[in-house]
Homo-oligomer: A and B are copies of this chain.
């Protein structure tokens, strides 16, 4: 679908939420669905793994109500990307939304 245009958006959403507080996979899936991004676990989980492997997220296992969850938090490197993303978003807004 349009996915190819928005997968980057999804990753930025993930970084952003992970910068607010640790998040786990299933939670993100719901959150993203609320924004109209329908992506399957088969897409999200490998993505989380990669973001962690690449040093943008750190992971911590927790047990909540008998369920194992992996909470992801943003790292310094992740914050750098998020900052860069904000600049790029601002640029996009200037051009595409504000027609400058």
Residues on A lying within 8 angstroms of B by beta carbon are 2, 4-9, 11-13, 16, 35-36, 81-82, 84-86, 88-93, 95-97
Contacts and interface: CB of A to CB of B under 8 A. Distances in A.
A35 B82 CA distance: 17
Given A86-B97, A97-B86, A92 B9 contact: yes
A2 B84 contact: yes
Nearest to A7: B8
30 contacts: A2-B81, A2-B84, A4-B8, A5-B8, A5-B11, A5-B12, A5-B84, A6-B8, A6-B85, A7-B8, A8-B8, A8-B9, A9-B92, A12-B92, A12-B96, A13-B92, A16-B95, A16-B96, A35-B88, A36-B88, A82-B96, A85-B96, A86-B96, A86-B97, A89-B92, A89-B93, A89-B96, A89-B97, A90-B97, A93-B93
